Amino acid sequence: MKEQPIPERLQISPFLVFYMVMSIQIGIGVLGYQRIIAMDAGYDAWISILFAGGCIHVIVWLIYKICETAGGDIVTAHKYVAGNFIGKALSAIFIAYFILFSLTVLRTFIEVIQVWMFPEISTFWFSFAFMALCVYIIFGGFRTVVGIAFFGLVLPAYLLLTFGWAIKFSNFYNLLPIWDHSIKELLTASYHMSLAFIGFESIIFFYPFIKEPKKSQKWAHFAVLTTTIIYTILAIITFAYFSEDQLSKQIWPSLTMWKIVEMPFVERFEYIGIANWNLIILPNVCISVWIASRLIKRVFNIRQKAGVFFVVAAVLSIINFLDTRKEINTLNDYVGKMGFIFNFIYIPLLFAAVMMTKKLKKGKKK
Amino acid sequence: MKKQLLICLVLLLSGCVDKEILDEINIEVGVGYDLAEDSKDKYRGTVLFQEFQPDKSVINRTFSGSGKLRQDLLLDVTRQSSEPVVTGGLKVAVFGPEISREGIYDLIDSFQRDASIGARVFVVTSEDKAEDVMKGEYGTRGNSTYIYNLIQHNIDHRDIPKTNLHIVSRDYYETGKDTFLPRIKKIADDKVEIIGVSLFDKDKEVEILPLKDLFFFKLLVDKYSQGNFDVKLEKGNLAAVKSIKSKHKIKIIDNHASININIEGIIREYTGRKLTSEVVNDVEKKLEKKVERECLKLLKQFQELGIDPVGLGQIKKTQHRKFDYKKWEDEYKTLEFDVKCNVDVEETGIIE
Amino acid sequence: MKNKRIKEDVEHKEWEQSFIKSKDFKKIFYYNQKTNVRFGLTFMATLIDENIIQDGILPNLLEDEFSEIEDIKQLVPVADVQICDDPSLIEQKLMNGYVMLTIETELKHFGFIAAQKEIVRGLSHPEVEFSVIGPKEAFVESMGQNLNLIRKRLPVKELIIEEFTLGSLSKTSVAILYMENITNEDNVNTVRQRLKNVKFDAITDSSYIVQLISDNSNSPFPQLLDTERPDRVAGILAEGKIAIVVDGSPHVLITPTTLVEFFSSFEDYFLNWILSSFFRLIRLFAVAFSILITPIYVATLSYHYELIPKDLMSTLITSRREIPFPPILEALFLELTIELLREAGARLPTKVGQTIGIVGGIVIGTASVEAGLTSNVLLIIVALAALASFTTPVYRMGNTIRLLRFPFLFFAELWGLLGIVFCFCVLLTHLTRLTSLGRPFLEPLYPPRVVDMKDALIRLPFEKQSKRPIFLRTKNPIRFNKKKAKKKKDIDE
């Protein structure tokens, strides 16, 4: 059975993959990854970020190889390897993964709002409005989703500059001496970076929507590189700004750093920053909901619109049960772990399987 | 379309959050803490609000309360205030003399935990009770603005090292560094002045550095961008060195700390006849000597007190892998210092 | 007997039944002086120019010899003379200002002589899109005149003018204009198709067409640009866009268009590129300011007192201390007052309108501040926002911007700054989804096309504009050969 190719007018230019990958990577993890990695590897943890970034390049390469060989997204690859039924069953797991992903992002963002801005904002109604907006975006088609990813990255980019204020109060000697931690500690820190880094695997799901996918590979790598650099610079500034014990007490160091920003017309920047973060979170949730609904369409052969409503309903019903910091933290941990397993264990396995199948099929033909 | 309308309506009805309308709240702009007279309560806090008059003049209004926690104080104050009390506008926190000796950690921690409090709050200690400091009438723009600007411009142009809530708590949590806070005194009902710097061991005040040592203290812990210092020369002549820029470099090898201080400045005023290059050289020499002597004295003093506001421990940590803080605490007691200073006078004003 | 039959034939046709009821329906019979042939002239007196009949048609028909209807082509000194035998055309021709000539010898044939009364407003200055520099001609209500103004500026055979008649009652002529060798054929086809699909009885202005053929009619954003400047139309035709001229409307429509185009005035092209880029940025800033400033005021004062710098605090608090309403009501009250003034100013005659605007603004503003209904800070903000909204060069977009403020106000009241950003996200999504003639409306911002940025937020010099916009997918994307156009000189050469 040959799958229908995506018509060209619905496809996106290769360079837009850059924005897609970056905007789903940068989301909720950025707010607090510094503390988590510093717990493992102290102020050497920025090395771990670079290392994790390097690993991701390998994974991105594997993803492209898988997609090229199987000639489509992950559902095609599963079918290619394991046949129709088992393949679909495997793909169905990822529906849950992406529902959880969007749930985590949204709930953590609402928690930030509740702690920093409006303690009494209703979780459900805010999520409801947010999800309604997501439905509106996704109904505009993949191109609109990519558009939001683009704006969600480009418009808030100025926020990076605001961390410059922290430099005035920073002490870069904090980072010395370099390499004061063991390799094992550094690797653990790299592992804990996964929540901040995951998201790039979405390529394997929207691969058929890329015009000339081969050309897009360099953009995907470039996106991962840029994210790594941004994370590293931000981590270095954070480490210089806080002392180590102080950082270990900050749940959201990036937000705390905004407290020092002072402009002639704005006394306290963090409120503007958090409000702006809404725009950064939006593509995260949208892309994952889009992927989940797309998978539902591919696996169960129902209309994607129905899939979207199903995913939204799932998110809205689960989100009410997550109330405390601890629960949200656990959820974050789990999603981080799942992302790690998926990216660094499952994808190499799938790659091996795809390669083997390819050889077998070639052998058969001969 | 109907669906969208419905969504809007539902949001309107149930999505609302509590408002804090600017003119219907009391914004805490300053706070002073003392130890409570009643031993049951721990703190006595005085909260400063601003009331703006139609002609834009400011009335300072203070409320006092006591309690075991900072939140208790706020509750106490809320009972007296006509409008809800919010803390997001805090600019200045003053600690009274007893409380700074008792320990200020709990309050600093509470400030840090409160998301609405900014990082640029100035934390200072006071010679008299914090309540009295809060209750003065300084300047026309309100007490908090007055004290805030007083400290800010002394940091920018004079001898107070850079400080704010963030730096205080960073130093507090840093291994191998101790905190210091500027110290103020109420000298009249409409005046406060800076009288020195309080030095802390962990969160307890142990020593007060007088005004005359502040220049050297700032050379050691911070860098100058616009300092002033008068140099006494022979024959009773004076030379005012202005626009001082300074940098220090500290190196710790084995058990010996060598401190290099570089100073650049301009001579603005000279009481003698002629400002020859010999005189300039003399000024440089004199200043170098003075800085070396005084800084060494300060360092020795810190060592005796067992405190480390310069952050020598932190510096050692950055220069040596596998730093052991326990061992350092012993080492510090026997640490030797040498201070080298180099002064460059670059300009002598527009006349020779 | 014979005569009578003919008379009845000529006089009592079925199609005349409803015509006779109108007082301007005229039917007059004459005899040719030479051949004594009886002929009749039928016309609508309100539509024709009587001078043409008096001086051009009648003398010739009466005095010169003719016996067949074919002869009149030589006799009548009017270019547009048609002869046909299809009675169904009669109504249309009469209604278009033709004089119908019937001869008793040839009852099957009719001659139509054009004698339209051209009541044309003289060319005047553009009023909505006034520019200090540049041409001062504006379109008028006559399609012929308008086409003339455009054709004059693009005297090439590739400029195609296609005509349609739309509206079951109004029978409005609508023309689409495009450059055959440049414009993308798909775009032209889409416009043709959409125009053909228009189902409406009376199309009295181009605004009807805007609403009837735009991609998303539920959007507050105009998706076709309308202009009254012939120079602008000529300019965009050369870029490869399509113009729609509607008879009876002094506004010509341009499609496909993008959001940024609505914020560029055609005067930008008359100024040096540095100046015009600067003005464009100012205008964009003004629009953002106009939409966001009042919501930000409401959000900050209702929720985020922490944001206010301590030096500004006293100004804001003192200005608000006597106000009994929450910021949102205060803002709504002022915004609605401004809208009211604007609306009143637009409906009244120019001079009265201006007076109302100024007097009303000053008097109501001052009075409401003194009465303690609104704060003077907000008054300044709202007035500035209103002023900023007038910088939009396209009136239609200006209206949209006036409207956009209100949802933002609603969300600012709901969730403060977070609400403003949320509303901005909704707006962004709406704009991203919007298309104009199937082409993305936000281009070149999204999809990001760096090449098209040369004439979007800023305008680069003409030497750099060697290519037509990509999103139009033109047949010939090159405007001029860049290499030939510009040779770089070395110093002192």
Indicate the residue among B210, B240, B260 that finishes a domain.
Answer: B210
B26-39 pLDDT, tens digit each:
888 999 988 887 77
**pLDDT greater than 90 at residue A131:** yes
A 242-281 → C contacts, CB under 8 A: 264-268, 271-272, 274-276, 278-279
Distances from the Cα of B249 to the Cα of A37, B258, B300, B339, angstroms: 30, 8, 18, 10
Q: What CATH number did the domain enclosing B326 receive? A: 3.30.300.210
Token pair for C76: 């009548």
B128-140 pLDDT, tens digit each:
888 888 888 888 8
Indicate the residue among B161, B189, B210 that finishes a domain.
Answer: B210
Q: Are residues B120 and B195 in the same domain?
A: yes
pLDDT at residue C347, rounded to an integer: 81
Q: Are the C-beta atoms of residues C309 and C380 closer than 8 Å to each other?
A: no
Q: What's the number of domains chain B is made of?
A: 2
Pick from C305, C317, C410: CB nearest B20: C305
Pick from C306, C414, C416: CB nearest B89: C306
The mean predicted confidence, pLDDT, of chain A is 90
Q: Are residues C284 and C379 in the same domain?
A: yes
User: How far is it, in rounded angstroms, from Cα B342 to Cα B261?
Assistant: 6
Q: Are residues B71 and B176 in the same domain?
A: yes
Q: Are the C-beta atoms of residues A260 and B119 closer than 8 Å to each other?
A: yes
Q: Are residues B153 and B180 in the same domain?
A: yes
Q: Are residues B232 and B189 in the same domain?
A: no
Local structure of B344: helix, strand or coil = strand
Mutation test of the interface with chain B: which of A115, A124, A176, A239, choosing the one with the most B Cβ atoms within 10 A? Answer: A176
Give the neighbours of chain C: at least 3 Cβ pairs within 8 Å. A, B
Strand partners, B51: B59
Count the residues in chain A: 366
Token pair for C269: 């092209």
First vs last C-alpha separation in chain B? 82
Q: Are residues C394 and C278 in the same domain?
A: yes
Q: Are residues C101 and C179 in the same domain?
A: no
CATH of domain A8-353: 1.20.1740.10
Instruction: Find the closest chain C residue to A263 by CA distance.
Output: C309
User: How far is it, in rounded angstroms, from Cα A181 to Cα A192?
Assistant: 16
Strand order in the sheet with C225-227: C159-166, C172-179, C242-246, C252-255, C225-227
Distances from the Cα of B99 to the Cα of B34, B94, B105, B124, C413, angstroms: 6, 10, 10, 12, 43
Q: Are residues C253 and C347 in the same domain?
A: no
Q: Are residues B188 and B313 in the same domain?
A: no
**pLDDT greater than 60 at residue C273:** yes
In a domain, B15, yes or no: no
Least Cα distance to C472 among C439, C444, C446 occurs for C439
In a domain, C268, yes or no: no
Chain A contact set for B321 (CB, 8 A): 177, 179-180
**pLDDT greater than 90 at residue B24:** no
The whole model's pTM is what?
0.91
- Band the pLDDT of C13: cuts 50, 70, 90: low
In a domain, C59, yes or no: yes
- Band the pLDDT of C265: cuts 50, 70, 90: confident
pLDDT at residue A6, rounded to an integer: 80
ipTM of the complex: 0.94
**How many other CB atoms are there within 10 angstroms of residue C385's CB atom?**
24
Average pLDDT over residues C401-429: 92
Chain A contact set for C428 (CB, 8 A): 148, 151
In a domain, C247, yes or no: yes
Q: Are residues B166 and B306 in the same domain?
A: no
pLDDT at residue A366, rounded to an integer: 63
CA distance A159 to chain B (A): 18
C204-249 pLDDT, tens digit each:
888 899 888 888 888 999 999 989 999 999 989 998 999 999 988 9
Indicate the residue among B180, B210, B240 that finishes a domain.
Answer: B210
In a domain, C453, yes or no: no
**How many other CB atoms are there within 10 angstroms of residue C362's CB atom?**
11
Give the number of A-B residue pairs with CB atoms closer than 8 Å. 77
C32-49 pLDDT, tens digit each:
888 888 888 888 888 888
Q: Are residues C166 and C246 in the same domain?
A: yes
Distances from the Cα of C421 to the Cα of A132, A300, C292, angstroms: 15, 36, 10
CA distance A242 to chain B (A): 6
Q: Are the C-beta atoms of residues C352 and C345 closer than 8 Å to each other?
A: no
Q: Are residues B246 and B196 in the same domain?
A: no
In a domain, C337, yes or no: yes
- Band the pLDDT of B8: cuts 50, 70, 90: low
- Band the pLDDT of A20: cuts 50, 70, 90: very high
pLDDT at residue A111, rounded to an integer: 92
Q: Are residues B236 and B306 in the same domain?
A: yes
**Looking up tokens 């527009």, which residue turns up?**
B350
Distances from the Cα of A158 to the Cα of A154, A155, C429, angstroms: 8, 7, 20
C471-486 pLDDT, tens digit each:
888 888 888 887 765 6
Instruction: Find the closest chain B residue to C328 by CA distance.
Output: B21
Local structure of C391: helix, strand or coil = coil
Spell out the SS3 assignment of chain A.
CCCCCCCHHHCECCCHHHHHHHHHHCCCHHHCHHHHHHHHHHHHHHHHHHHHHHHHHHHHHHHHHHHHHHCCCHHHHHHHHHCHHHHHHHHHHHHHHHHHHHHHHHHHHHHHHHHHCCCCCCHHHHHHHHHHHHHHHHHCCHHHHHHHHHHHHHHHHHHHHHCHHHHCCCCHHHHCCCCCCCHHHHHHHHHHCHHHHCCHHHHHHHHHHECCHHHHHHHHHHHHHHHHHHHHHHHHHHHHHCCHHHHCCCCCHHHHHHCCCCECCECCCHHHHHHHHHHHHHHHHHHHHHHHHHHHHHHHCCCHHHHHHHHHHHHHHHHCCCCCHHHHHHHHHHHHHHHHHHHHHHHHHHHHHHHHHHHHHHHHHC
Give the neighbours of chain A: at least 3 Cβ pairs within 8 Å. B, C
**pLDDT greater than 90 at residue B122:** yes
C311-360 pLDDT, tens digit each:
888 888 888 888 888 889 989 988 888 888 888 877 877 777 777 777 77
Indicate the residue among C440, C456, C488 that finishes a domain.
Answer: C440
Q: Are the C-beta atoms of residues B226 and B213 closer than 8 Å to each other?
A: no
**pLDDT greater than 50 at residue A1:** no
CA distance B252 to chain A (A): 14
Strand partners, C83: C111
B218-268 pLDDT, tens digit each:
888 888 777 778 888 777 778 888 778 888 888 888 788 888 988 888 887
Chain B contact set for C315 (CB, 8 A): 56
- Band the pLDDT of A22: cuts 50, 70, 90: very high
More confident residue, A227 or B276: A227
In a domain, B50, yes or no: yes
User: How far is it, in rounded angstroms, from Cα B63 to Cα B86?
Assistant: 13
Q: Which residue range forms the structural domain that includes residue B194? A: 24-210
pLDDT at residue B45, rounded to an integer: 86
Domain extent listing, chain A? 8-353
pLDDT at residue C433, rounded to an integer: 92
Q: What's the number of domains chain C is made of?
A: 3
Chain B contact set for C321 (CB, 8 A): 23, 52, 54
CA-angle at C341, arms to C338 and C342, nearest 5°: 85
B68-109 pLDDT, tens digit each:
888 888 888 888 888 888 888 889 999 988 888 888 888 888
Chain B contact set for A243 (CB, 8 A): 170-171, 173-175, 177
**pLDDT greater than 70 at residue C391:** yes
Q: Are residues C243 and C295 in the same domain?
A: no
Interface touch B10/A260, C-beta < 8 Å = no
pLDDT at residue C4, rounded to an integer: 45
Pick from A129, A169, A180: CB nearest B11: A129
Interface touch A259/B314, C-beta < 8 Å = no
pLDDT at residue C487, rounded to an integer: 65
Q: Are residues C90 and C185 in the same domain?
A: no
In a domain, B13, yes or no: no
pLDDT at residue B254, rounded to an integer: 78
**C281-284: Cβ within 8 A, 24+ apart:** C281/C457, C281/C458, C282/C391, C283/C391, C283/C392, C283/C393, C284/C457
In a domain, B4, yes or no: no
Pick from B1, B86, B145: CB nearest C310: B145
pLDDT at residue C473, rounded to an integer: 86
pLDDT at residue C5, rounded to an integer: 44
CA distance B43 to chain A (A): 25
Q: Are residues C101 and C171 in the same domain?
A: no
User: How far is it, in rounded angstroms, from Cα C264 to Cα B187?
Assistant: 63
User: How far is it, in rounded angstroms, from Cα C366 to Cα C295?
Assistant: 22
Distances from the Cα of B256 to the Cα of B175, B305, B337, angstroms: 19, 18, 6
**pLDDT greater than 80 at residue C65:** no
Chain B contact set for C377 (CB, 8 A): none
A330 touches chain B (CB under 8 A): no
pLDDT at residue B2, rounded to an integer: 54
Distance of CA C382 to the CA centre of its chain: 29
Q: Are residues C299 and C190 in the same domain?
A: no
A168 touches chain B (CB under 8 A): no
**How many other CB atoms are there within 10 angstroms of residue C417's CB atom?**
24
Q: Which residue range forms the structural domain that includes residue C384? A: 273-440
Q: Are residues B204 and B279 in the same domain?
A: no
**pLDDT greater than 90 at residue A132:** yes
The percentage of residues in chain C with a pLDDT greater than 70, rounded to a whole number, is 96
- Band the pLDDT of C3: cuts 50, 70, 90: very low
User: How far is it, in rounded angstroms, from Cα A159 to Cα A162?
Assistant: 5
**pLDDT greater than 70 at residue B117:** yes
Q: CA B23, B26, B27, B31: dihedral to nearest 10 degrees?
A: 160
A214-254 pLDDT, tens digit each:
899 999 999 999 999 999 999 999 999 998 888 988 889 99
Q: Are residues C154 and C95 in the same domain?
A: no
User: How far is it, in rounded angstroms, from Cα C24 to Cα C42?
Assistant: 11
- Band the pLDDT of C1: cuts 50, 70, 90: very low
pLDDT at residue B81, rounded to an integer: 85
Indicate the residue among C77, C96, C114 that finishes a domain.
Answer: C114
In a domain, B17, yes or no: no
Interface touch B58/C313, C-beta < 8 Å = no
Local structure of C325: helix, strand or coil = coil
Distances from the Cα of A61 to the Cα of A49, A112, A201, B55, C444, angstroms: 19, 35, 11, 68, 31
Chain C contact set for B20 (CB, 8 A): 302-303, 305
Chain C contact set for B140 (CB, 8 A): none
Q: Are residues C293 and C415 in the same domain?
A: yes
Q: Are the C-beta atoms of residues B309 and B206 closer than 8 Å to each other?
A: no
Phi, psi dihedral angles at B309 (to 5 degrees)? -70, -20
- Under DSSP, the state recorded for C53 is I
Indicate the residue among C199, C225, C257 that finishes a domain.
Answer: C257
More confident residue, C483 or C12: C483
In a domain, C134, yes or no: no
Interface touch A279/C425, C-beta < 8 Å = yes
More confident residue, A323 or A289: A289
